[in-house]
Amino acid sequence: MYDRVLVGAKTMKTATIIRSLVYVLSFAVAVGTCIATESSLSVHSPVCEYKTNPLGIDVEKPRLSWKITSSERAVTQSAYQIRAAQDIGDLTSGRNLVWESGKLESGRSIHVVYEGPSPASRRRIWWQVRVWDNRGRNSDWSEPAFWEMGLLKPDDWTADWIEPNLSEDENISNPCPLLRREFMLAKGGIKSARAYVTCHGLYQMRINGQVVGDELFTPGWTAYLHRLQYQTYDVTELLNEGKNCVGVILGDGWHRGRLAWKKRRNVYGKKLALLAQIEVEYKDGSRELISTNGHWKASTGPILVSDIYNGEAYDARLEMDGWSKPGFDAKGWAGVTTASHSKDILVAPAGPPVRKIEEIRPAKILKTPTGDTVVDMGQNMVGWVRLKVRGPAGTRVTLRHAEVLDAQGNFYTENLRAAKQTVEYILKGKSEEVFEPHFTFQGFRYVAVEGWPGRLSLEDLKGVVIHSDIRRTGTFECSNPMINQLQHNIQWGQKGNFLDVPTDCPQRDERLGWTGDAQVFARTACFNADVASFYTKWLADLAADQQPSGAVPHVIPNVLSLGKEKGQSASAGWADAAVVVPWTVYLCYGDTRILEQQYSSMKAWVDYMAGRAGDTYFWNTDHTFGDWLAFNTNRSDYPGATTDKDLIRQAYFAWSTDLLQRTARVLGKTADAEKYGGLLEKVKNVFQDEFVTPNGRVASNTQTAYSLALAFDLIAPDMKQIAAKRLADDVRQFEHITTGFLGASPICHVLSDYGYLDDAYMLLNRKEYPSWLYPITKGATTIWERWDGIKPDGTFQDKGMNSFNHYAYGAIGEWLYRVVAGIDIDEQNPGYKRIIIEPHPGGGLTFARARMDSMYGPIESEWHLDGDTVTLEVEIPPNTTAAVKLPSAKLNDVTESGKPLGLVRGIYLLQTRKEGDRIVIPIGSGHYLFRSDGR
């Protein structure tokens, strides 16, 4: 198969001596020592802590990053200059700067640490950057950008926590409280105003009747006992001189709504509470503060119930017009009580907020055999339905949500377990009514509609897709439409399960931050979207909820053993998220600070395992989920593919130890690097003694056993090929994958790394159960929790655990990007500073294309096969370099944009080398089209 991946021109007959001269010349051009041409160099997309102009951050030394564009190839940054000021006018005129880096000779264009004086709370810093390239040219200054500090100290919060004085039954969901306060602002000009807000529960704030911001599920879900986020809003435009009103609706959310199994509620507390302060600055420099205090008023309103799992009930007849505007008569409203909840645990959000991201028009309306009217959204999605309805007051419209119809075509909700996922709307009876629920989300494709007044049409409902606002960065496409659908399903699995925390599923009574699922999917997630700050937030929660022993809870935030010192933790492959996820973020975003921040958490987890293993170095205690949901049968000749849990523990013990010692090295912690390097050797030796026979058989003899052992480098060098062959033999014997969650992410990598690319493609292309494409034959639009959520005979798997939107098996996405299309990272130059482009045509594909917007800019690899002709189109962003690895190619046969390589700018021809059966061509930034007409 590699033989067909040739790159080169058949008929290049230039004399060697001339060619050598040309090569030397091209090298000189590539490194930029000669030939000046007209070119453009500019800096754009300045971000601070991964965000564009963030408001209310609490990072005292934030990191600044930018992207460079150039019309030239082989452009690198040779120097940069940053300036920063408190005022935008000062910034652009270069006066009163708070920081000026000077022209620094440096190629660093991501994560440059702000070195000016630490800004105080509320302070805005404007900044801009200009760069010089390797040919000595400089860009203009970038557009000014800013970041603004939040409230850094607990005593910046002069507001009181308040709780509504409403009588509630703590055993059930109660109506959502409304809180309000009117206030006056002086005349004479409001210069700017900020609202700083958090709560116990969820909140939606309104000022003078208008919703503040577009963030949902605020303040977000964190390890609430240790960290509670507040949000900062610019509310300048919402305020008036004179009378104003602020209103807040509170929802139960994760704080006290239903959470996890066994009908659990009130996990973090029984009462909802609000903490908010609106700070107004007048043009004359004076300030005004409106904060939550004992003078606020409270009432219930139209939201009778709003619960994450169960849905919402809303009686529009109970709406109180103008409740969040000044002049509303709130005489009958109750008061509030001030409370002494902690302000010490308040933090600014590191990650992106949840927002409404897109809308879906339903595909069709159908009648099921049992008579339900069901709207098919055409896509398993997460969010809710916005309805538009007209009818008599008191009409009750009910929307139930389900992921699938059963074999008979009936509405199926049993896999939701106790989650009701039901939205009820009672009409007020006035003209057209538009409704969206507030503090709940549903995972669904189908909506059963009851009580609709008149005839339901497709125009009446819209699917509102919500998720953490992670910027999409990656696309993958190829000539096989089913693989494209797989990629679509992976991306929708990510959207649906990136809802403030990385969840296992978005529909049943679970929706928890399962660590194992997050760990196996992290690398794929980093291709599809910019998830660095999303994981930064979640990893801080992981560290906060880590048990004193170092054991990592199964779910983060930890609600399964909240506040307990032990229990529901330390499963191999799950707890390792503590090490694998920060390492993945480091690799994909070049982010060393995440390693610094997580280091003690990473170390605590490895030390925990080492402590449990003691001087045997064999970790064989603690509950472990194993290779969750591995292939299973009732056949006595082949009972299934269960992998020994002791092997899984020891493999992950080694892997986390390995990543920790690499982390220590990156951070310059030499003593730790040596210590954990030594530990790794011992752990590996035990793995080999215990699980690898002298003939290279790995105990359990399962695909997962071989995949983990080889992916984690646990096999002696001379045994690796033997073990890999055993894996390939197993794959060939069964002709399908047999792994569960843990084996599914490495298996194709191991096969392709050890020369079994065809077998990896066979697994990818297979359409029968068990396989990645099988669910697509059953109409899947997201990744399923199980290989056979719907069995070949059309019946469902166990209703107790059968999610149709679970991203774990979507971890194959990484292989599509890294191996099929071939975009990879050089670990020594992480964050795609040095890119590896190594496409692997095969599997009957005629083309594959991946594009991913890295911290430096877009990277693309696109190959086409046309008979014996192969083309490879590559895009490499400025300030990076790449190694293009071409299998079985002869250097002299390669052309780029129709020219022999020797004539091509941007290719470092003298540095080309052989690596196994490949030639490696180092290139600089730019767009390239390589071509070969075969041999």
Which of 785, 862, 875, 896 is catalytic? The answer is 785
Rounded Cα distance, 907 and 26, in Å? 7
Tell me which residues in 848-887 interact with ligand BGC (CB under 6 A): none
Which residues, numbered 46-65, are part of the site for ligand BGC (CB under 6 A)? Answer: none
Stretch that binds ligand BGC, among 266-274, 510-518, 817-825, 844-852 (CB under 6 A): 510-518
Residue among 192, 193, 151, 157 nearest 56 (CA): 151
Question: Quick one: 376 exposed, middle or buried, by C-beta within 10 A (0-12, 13-18, 19+)?
Answer: middle
Nearer to ligand BGC, 427 or 560 (CB): 560
Judged by beta carbon, residue 267 or residue 278, the one nearer ligand BGC is: 267
How many angstroms separate the CA atoms of 331 and 470, rounded?
Answer: 44
Q: How many CA atoms lie within 13 A of 147 on its CB side?
A: 29
510 binds ligand BGC (CB under 6 A): yes
Residue 260 C-beta: closest distance to ligand BGC, Å: 10
**Nearer Cβ to ligand BGC (41/505):** 505
Which is nearer to ligand BGC, 489 or 661 (by Cβ)? 489
- Which of these ranges, 81-89, 504-512, 611-619, 692-700, lies near ligand BGC under the rule CB under 6 A? 504-512
Q: At 728, which helix (H) or strand (E)?
A: helix 717-734
Strand order in the sheet with 41-48: 41-48, 63-70, 112-113
228-229 vs 346-347, strand pairing mode: parallel
Through-space distance between the first and last CA atoms of the chain, rounded to whole angstroms = 13
The residue among 460 and 517 lying less far from ligand BGC, judged by its C-beta, is: 517
Site for ligand BGC in 783-812 (CB under 6 A): 801, 806
User: Least distance to ligand BGC from the beta carbon of 812, Å?
Assistant: 16
- C-alpha–C-alpha distance, residues 484 and 452, integer Å: 37
Nearest-approach distance from CB 763 to ligand BGC, in angstroms: 21
User: Torsion angle of alpha carbons 544, 546, 547, 551, nearest 10°?
Assistant: -170
Helix 515-528 / helix 481-497 crossing angle, nearest 10 deg: 120
Among residues 711 and 801, whose Cβ is nearest to ligand BGC? 801
**Nearest approach, Cβ of residue 851 and ligand BGC (Å):** 30
Find the binding residues for ligand BGC in span 271-310 (CB under 6 A): none
**Tokens 């055409």 found at:** 378
Minimum distance, C-beta of residue 626 to ligand BGC, in the bound complex (Å): 8
Among the candidate windows 90-98, 452-460, 508-516, 856-864, which touches ligand BGC by CB under 6 A? Answer: 508-516
Question: Whole-angstrom Cα distance, residue 122 to residue 152?
Answer: 8
Tokens coding 687: 């793995």
424 tagged catalytic:
no
Residues 244/187, Cβ–Cβ less than 8 Å? no
The DSSP code for 790 is B
Judged by beta carbon, residue 507 or residue 598, the one nearer ligand BGC is 507
CB of 751 to ligand BGC, least distance (A): 24
Helix (H) or strand (E) holding 605, with range, is: helix 592-613
**CB-nearer residue toward ligand BGC: 60 or 798:** 798
> Among 263-271, 514-522, 885-893, 911-919, which window interacts with ligand BGC (CB under 6 A)?
514-522
- Taking CB under 6 A as the binding criterion, the range among 264-272, 383-391, 503-511, 838-846 that sits at the site for ligand BGC is 503-511
Stretch of residues binding ligand BGC (CB under 6 A), selected from 45-53, 127-135, 512-520, 858-866? 512-520
In angstroms, rounded to a whole number, what is the distance separating the alpha carbons of residues 880 and 876?
7
517/896 with CB nearer ligand BGC: 517
Sequence length of the chain is 935
Q: Find, among 526, 480, 502, the residue nearest to 824 by Cα.
A: 526
CA 932 – CA 935 distance, rounded (Å) = 8
Binding residues for ligand BGC restricted to 135-194, rule: CB under 6 A? none
- Residue 481 makes CB contacts below 8 A (sequence gap 6+) with none
**Which residue of the set 312, 433, 510, 896 is catalytic?**
510
Q: Is the distance from CB of 277 to CB of 198 less than 8 angstroms?
A: no
Tell me 643's DSSP state. P
* Helix (H) or strand (E) run with residue 133 in it: strand 124-133
List CB contacts of 262: < 8 A, sequence separation 6 or more: none
CB of residue 504 vs ligand BGC: minimum separation in angstroms?
A: 4
The strand ranges marked E within 625-750 are none
Inter-residue contact 75 to 925 (CB < 8 Å): yes
What pairs with residue 43 in β-bridges? 68
Closest residue by beta carbon to ligand BGC: 504
Binding mask 740-769 for ligand BGC (x = CB under 6 A): ------------------------------
CA-based R_g, the chain, Å: 29
As measured in angstroms, the least distance from the Cβ of 574 to ligand BGC is 7
Residue 51 is classified by DSSP as: B
d(Cα 820, Cα 757) in Å, to the nearest integer? 10
517 near ligand BGC (CB under 6 A): yes
170 catalytic? Reply is: no
Considering only the stretches 220-228, 249-257, 502-510, 760-768, report the one whose residues sit in contact with ligand BGC under the rule CB under 6 A: 502-510
Nearest distance from residue 651's CB to ligand BGC, in Å? 17
Nearer to ligand BGC, 808 or 889 (CB): 808
| Closest CB 580 distance from ligand BGC, rounded Å | 14
Say if CB 125 and CB 147 are below 8 A apart: yes
Q: Which of 82, 505, 520, 525 touches ligand BGC by CB under 6 A?
A: 505
C-alpha span between 67 and 140 (Å, rounded): 13
Among residues 114, 127, 514, 617, the one that binds ligand BGC under rule CB under 6 A: 514
Q: Does the footprint of ligand BGC cover residue 576 (CB under 6 A)?
A: no
CB of 628 to ligand BGC, least distance (A): 5
CA distances (Å), origin 426, targets 206, 314, 374, 396, 866: 23, 6, 19, 4, 61
Residue with tokens 């003939």: 695
Enclosing H/E stretch for 92: helix 88-93
Q: Which residue, 700 or 803, has its beta carbon nearer to ligand BGC? A: 803
Neighbour tally for 378: CB within 10 Å: 15
Residues in the interface with ligand BGC (CB under 6 A) total 10
By CB under 6 A, what part of segment 603-662 binds ligand BGC? 625, 628
For ligand BGC, the closer CB: 346 or 505: 505
Rounded to a whole number of angstroms, the minimum distance from the CB of residue 571 to ligand BGC is 7
Paired tokens of 97? 């700067």
Tokens coding 82 = 């940053």
* CA pair distance 750, 729, nearest whole angstrom: 13
- Nearest CB to ligand BGC, comparing residues 807 and 928: 807
Q: Which active-site residues does the annotation give? A: 510, 785
Which spans of this chain sit near ligand BGC (rule: CB under 6 A)?
504-505, 510, 514, 516-517, 625, 628, 801, 806
